[in-house]
């Protein structure tokens, strides 16, 4: 913290705050405002800075949501005459919170506090009477909350005898009851303007500021040293302090009432709990929540376990154990009502420690997020439907292309090769030399091999069901071709297979999945034995294809294109694909598809 500030002269006298309910404030004042909307925030900050500009103070405004730097300048320019002159004098600076609080994307309290006083030093050297500051803390997240409250406390303690006035603003919707308490404890004054109406959490007219307390203490010490015999004056002062204490007690009672008003008007349900989960305090939102979800009329002294169902008691007990150890618990939960509708809630459970860090209670906060969850679920359903449409279109196009290529190979190229072989076979040995005849024989053999390969390829590409073949016959033919080409033994078992209940698209999908996996086995597995199981019931059809090949380490190798194709085809029937493999233990593919 800078200790080389210019001489600030006398700090006596008051400054116009620009805020009607606060009036005039001394230097060193540190107060906060809870706001609900952008309009409420601007209605307090524009007059606040206008008073500072008029009174020759340097003004520094640190913005965050919902007011941008540009919006802040525009609001001041619309409300303050000759605002351009103040800008030319460099009497006001407006910065984003990221440029002030989060340099290098990290909040470091000492750097921020030193920054305030460096600005104060500069403003005094330029001839300004002092500095007026406002910081919007809407950017705060829970993980830096405690660190920031400690920073507020240190700033509050260090402002004594400084020519600064500091106003911190907090969005009310991000502050639960505990947060309101935390903020109020590190500021001299706490006010809020909600929908145009002022609500005072602490009344400034009856609350002494730090600088006032420091001056009173010094004056008291001087008088004790200089006038030890003036007992009547001391007695009068003591009587005044007693009266001040009574006024302070009244202020605390009013503060509690105002905090209770905020507690009861929030949209979040709050329950204050004993460590044994007995209810000490709750707001009307909590009563509505318990009545709607658990059909229970809530009252003080009830225990959470009185209305929780057995399964929820077990889950909640585990979360409570973690909370009483100091952990803040956050989770989402769903409740199904008797009318078949569902409610979603965001639940927060956090401990309340005392000064010795012991946990003497818990706060349960519940926020209704049903509308958001319904929208999320709807978007997810639409995404899945669109994904299925795309997958279906891709596979259909691929199948059509396979059919076309297969027919082209079978009907055109193969016929050309067959004709070529016929002409070659008509060449007589006596018509050409011995070596020429040998070449013709080799050519004849190669043409025959090409014919065989093209026939196999065209048969694999053209769906067998186009030829009115049953699924079982098509699979048996596929097994025969695979076994003949590789020597692998393939055993097939079927249970409950009823092809009349299977759509043509589902039969084709089953065939293609088996064909794809057989190809994978031929290419990669080095297997000698394969088991194929097909099981069908009234709701689903499942495939199990298991080989005794080399397998692979699933933690080191991802699924290939073949398995991706299988998953894409299965997704058309809300399918689930599961694979199991390990080195030397073969490979197992399980596919379950719903009947449509």
User: Which CATH number covers residue 493?
Assistant: 3.30.565.10
Q: What is the DSSP letter of 304?
A: G
Contact 180, 49 (CB under 8 A): no
Q: Which of the four pLDDT bands, split at 50, 70 and 90, describes residue 590?
A: very high
Last residue of a domain, one of 462, 486, 505: 462
The gap between the terminal CA atoms of the chain, to the nearest Å, is 73
Point out the least confidently predicted range of 177-186, 412-421, 432-441, 469-478: 412-421
User: What is the per-residue pLDDT for 341?
Assistant: 83
* Domain termination residue (choose one: 368, 400, 415): 368
Q: Are residues 188 and 100 in the same domain?
A: yes
Of the chain, the percentage scoring pLDDT greater than 90 comes to 27
CATH code for the domain in which residue 315 is found: 3.30.450.20
Task: State which residues form the domain around 572.
Answer: 468-596
Q: Is the pTM of this model over 0.75?
A: no
pLDDT at 484: 81
My answer on whether omega of the bond before 66 falls inside 30° of 0, hence cis, is yes
pLDDT band (50, 70, 90) for residue 523: confident
Residue 509 is assigned to a structural domain of this protein:
yes
Does residue 455 sit in the same domain as residue 572? no
At residue 361, does pLDDT exceed 60?
yes
Report if residue 499 sits inside a domain. yes
Confirm whether 228 is domain-assigned. Answer: no
Same domain flag for 337 and 476: no
**Share of residues in the chain with pLDDT > 70 (%):** 75
- 381 three-state secondary structure: helix
Residue of 529, 493, 513 whose CA lies nearest to 579 = 513
Specify the residue for token string 């399964």.
311
Asked if 24 and 15 touch (Cβ cutoff 8 Å), the reply is yes
Same domain, 558 and 455: no
Please tell me the chain's helix, strand, coil percentages from 3-state DSSP, rounded to the nearest 5: 55, 20, 25
Dist CA 283 CA 266 (whole Å): 9
DSSP 3-state of 334: strand
Q: Which two tokens stand for residue 35?
A: 């706001």
Asked whether residue 487 carries a pLDDT value surpassing 80, the answer given is yes
Residue the block writes with tokens 């290419």 = 523
Same domain as 476, residue 458: no
* Higher local confidence (pLDDT), 396 or 504: 504
**68 shares a domain with 171:** yes
Residue 573 has pLDDT above 90, yes or no: no
Distance of alpha carbon 564 from the chain centroid: 29
Q: Which has more confidence, 214 or 21?
A: 21
146-160, 222-236, 366-380, 499-513: the lowest-pLDDT one = 222-236
585 pLDDT more than 80 = yes
418 assigned to some structural domain: yes
Tell me the average pLDDT across 18-39: 89
From residue 239, how far is each of 145, 147, 235 by CA, in Å?
41, 40, 6
Residue 222 maps to a domain: no
> Do 457 and 474 belong together in one domain?
no
Residue 180 has pLDDT above 90, yes or no: no
Number of structural domains found in the chain: 4
Q: Which residue has the higher pLDDT, 505 or 416?
A: 505
Residue with tokens 């390829």: 457
| 253 domain residue, yes or no | no
Residue 112 shares a structural domain with residue 76: yes
User: Cα–Cα distance between 158 and 151 in angstroms, integer?
Assistant: 11
Mark which of 146, 180, 202 sits at the end of a domain. Answer: 202
Spell out a b/e string for 219-233, using b for 16 or more CB atoms within 10 Å of the CB, else e: eeeeeeeeeeeeeee
48 has a pLDDT exceeding 60: yes
Whether 9 maps to a domain, the answer reads: no
- Asked if residues 61 and 72 have their Cβ atoms less than 8 Å apart, the reply is yes
Checking DSSP bridges between strand 359-368 and strand 489-495, what pairing results, if any? Answer: unpaired
- In angstroms, the CA 64 to CA 126 distance is 28
If asked whether residues 144 and 49 sit together in one domain, one would say: yes
389 inside domain: yes
What pLDDT band is residue 250 in, cutting at 50, 70 and 90?
A: low
Same domain for 285 and 358? yes
pLDDT at 422 over 90: no
Per-residue confidence (pLDDT) for residue 203, from 0 to 100: 41
Same domain, 194 and 317: no
Give the pLDDT confidence score for residue 252 in this predicted structure: 54
With bands split at pLDDT 50, 70 and 90, how would you rate the model's confidence at 398? low
Same domain membership, residue 333 and residue 416: no
In this prediction, residue 217 has a pLDDT band, given cuts at 50, 70 and 90, of low
């Amino acid at each position: 913290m800078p200790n080389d500030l210019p001489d600030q002269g006398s700090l006596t006298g008051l400054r116009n705050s620009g805020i009607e309910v606060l009036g005039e404030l001394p230097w060193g004042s540190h107060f906060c405002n809870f706001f609900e909307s952008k309009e409420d925030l601007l209605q307090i900050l524009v007059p606040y800075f206008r008073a500072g500009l008029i009174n020759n103070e340097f003004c520094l405004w640190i913005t965050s949501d919902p007011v941008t730097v540009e919006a802040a300048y525009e609001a001041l320019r619309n409300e303050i005459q000759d605002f351009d002159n103040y800008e030319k004098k460099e009497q006001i600076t407006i910065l984003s919170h990221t440029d002030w609080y989060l340099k290098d994307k990290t909040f470091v309290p000492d750097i921020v506090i030193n920054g305030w006083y460096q600005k104060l030093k500069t403003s005094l050297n330029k001839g300004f009477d002092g500095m007026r500051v406002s910081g919007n803390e809407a950017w705060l997240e829970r993980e830096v909350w405690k660190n920031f409250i400690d920073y507020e406390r240190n700033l509050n303690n260090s402002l004594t005898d400084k020519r600064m006035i500091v106003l911190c603003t907090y969005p009310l919707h991000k502050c639960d009851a505990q947060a309101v308490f935390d903020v109020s404890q590190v500021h001299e004054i706490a006010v809020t303007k909600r929908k145009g109406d002022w609500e005072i959490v602490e009344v400034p007219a009856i609350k002494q500021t730090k600088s006032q307390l420091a001056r009173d203490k010094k004056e008291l010490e001087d008088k004790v040293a200089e006038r030890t015999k003036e007992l009547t004056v001391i007695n009068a002062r003591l009587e005044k302090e007693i009266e001040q204490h009574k006024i302070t007690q009244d202020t605390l009672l009013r503060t509690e009432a105002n905090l209770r008003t905020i507690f009861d008007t929030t949209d979040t349900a709050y329950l204050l709990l004993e460590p044994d989960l007995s209810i000490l305090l709750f707001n009307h939102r909590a009563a509505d929540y318990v009545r709607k979800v658990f059909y229970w009329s809530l009252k003080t002294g009830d225990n959470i376990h009185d209305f929780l169902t057995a399964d929820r008691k077990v889950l909640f007990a585990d979360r409570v154990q973690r909370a009483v150890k100091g952990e803040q618990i956050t989770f989402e939960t769903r409740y199904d009502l008797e009318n078949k509708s569902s409610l979603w809630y965001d639940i927060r459970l956090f401990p309340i420690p005392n000064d010795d860090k012991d946990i003497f209670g818990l706060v349960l906060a519940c926020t209704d997020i049903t509308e958001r969850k319904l929208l999320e679920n709807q978007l997810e359903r639409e995404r899945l439907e669109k994904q299925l449409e795309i997958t279906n279109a891709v596979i259909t196009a691929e199948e059509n292309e396979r059919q076309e290529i297969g027919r082209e190979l079978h009907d055109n190229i193969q016929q050309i090769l067959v004709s070529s072989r016929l002409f070659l076979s008509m060449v007589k040995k006596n018509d050409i030399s011995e070596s020429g005849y040998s070449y013709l024989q080799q050519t004849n053999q190669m043409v025959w091999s090409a014919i065989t390969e093209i026939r196999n390829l065209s048969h694999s590409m053209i769906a067998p069901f186009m030829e009115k073949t049953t699924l079982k016959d098509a699979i048996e033919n596929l097994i025969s071709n695979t076994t003949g080409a590789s020597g692998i033994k393939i055993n097939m078992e079927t249970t409950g297979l009823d092809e009349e209940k299977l759509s043509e698209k589902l039969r084709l999908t089953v065939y293609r999945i088996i064909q794809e996996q057989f190809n994978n086995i031929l290419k990669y597995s080095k297997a000698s034995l394969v088991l194929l199981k097909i099981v069908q019931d009234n709701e689903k059809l499942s495939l199990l294809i298991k080989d005794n090949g080399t397998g692979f380490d699933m933690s080191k190798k991802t699924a290939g294109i073949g398995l991706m194709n299988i998953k894409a085809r299965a997704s058309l029937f809300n399918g689930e694909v599961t694979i199991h493999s390990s080195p030397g233990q073969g490979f197992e593919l399980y596919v379950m598809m719903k009947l449509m």
